[in-house]
Amino acid sequence: MIGGNESYAAGPMPMSYLTCLTYILGEWTGVEHIEDYLSYAVYLLWVLFPLVAVFLLPGVLVILFYTSILLLHIYKRKNELKEAYSNDFWDGARQMLATLWDGHGRIWHGYELHGAENIPEGPGLVVFYHGATPADCVYFMARLLIQKKRYCHVVADHFVFRLPGFKILLDVHGVMHGPKEECVNALKKGSLIAIAPGGVREALFSDEMYTIIWGNRKGFAQVAIDAKVPIIPMFTQNVREGVRTLGGIKILRSLYERIRLPIVPVYGGFPVKLRTFIGEPIPYEPNITAEELTAKTKAALQALIEKHQKLPGNIFRALMERFQRQNKED
């Protein structure tokens, strides 16, 4: 090695910056041949980068949610003096966030909405399959607001209401806890409501076979019966290929059943093709039971999955579908 009193620019040719940095680190740490360790570290970084990336990309959705929250606070401060002159104080904010999320869906997933004509003019209950994240439902709500000027409420799990900073976002968008009485009253007032009966359990523990996990849940069906509204099935193609979970690990399933918190790791954020399909409405029938309507709705949703999703789901195929006009029957 060069002596401590020698310049690292000595000799006929000056050292490169990397060699100079290596020399300084070696002198500072006292480690000989530190360049070998650095080369190994760079190699490990190169090898592990794809693995790290798939766990970090879902964080983009979290960033978008908190960006939405920040924009709402800015909007509130800017417009609170005009509240008395506006019919709906938050209408502009909803349009702004719809544009933000629809732009993300278009750019990152080439998002498409099919069958919007099946959504009735009046109230209705949209029942959808829950992917690892609710991003597809947010894209649907944004596109519906932009194209049809139709606002859709959504029923969320209780843990969402405990997320720090989310209160203003949930209040502005009328996100509901899900008590039957609240949903029935909203529907009777003419609202459109979206709900995933599988909830967090389906989000975390379904798989590339797109298994519907509803258990014995039939409360949504009773809500539709009590409110005398149709049920509209909805499914988003490739929703589990964009973000996947490690829900196949049994200990994580057991832990969830004990504490009921979504601590299962997710990975992905892949720019796969997403298409949301709205099925034909299941009309209100006065003599149908909640059990019968649940079975009917599940069959309709399963039919959408079988019609529009190639099983088992495949990430590479879903990526390639970004370059195709059609895949499975549209």
Q: Strand 124-128 to strand 231-237: parallel, antiparallel, or no bridges (unpaired)?
A: parallel
CB 303 within 8 A of CB 230: no
Tokens of 235: 């499914």
Cα separation, 245 vs 167, in Å, equals 26
Cα separation, 109 vs 68, in Å, equals 19
Q: Which residues pair with 114 in a beta bridge?
A: 277
Which residue stretches of the chain are H helix? Answer: 17-29, 34-56, 59-79, 91-109, 135-148, 167-172, 180-188, 199-205, 219-227, 239-242, 250-259, 290-308, 315-320
Region of 273 please: left (phi>0), alpha (psi -120 to 50) or beta. Answer: beta
Catalytic residue annotation: 130
Cα separation, 229 vs 242, in Å, equals 32
Buried-state track 288-299, b at ≥16 Cβ within 10 A, e below 16: bebeebbebbbe
**Closest listed residue to residue 156, CA positions, set 127, 187, 177:** 177
CB 118 within 8 A of CB 279: yes
Q: Which residues pair with 233 in a beta bridge?
A: 127
Region of 16 please: left (phi>0), alpha (psi -120 to 50) or beta. Answer: beta
| Residue type at 175 in one-letter notation | V
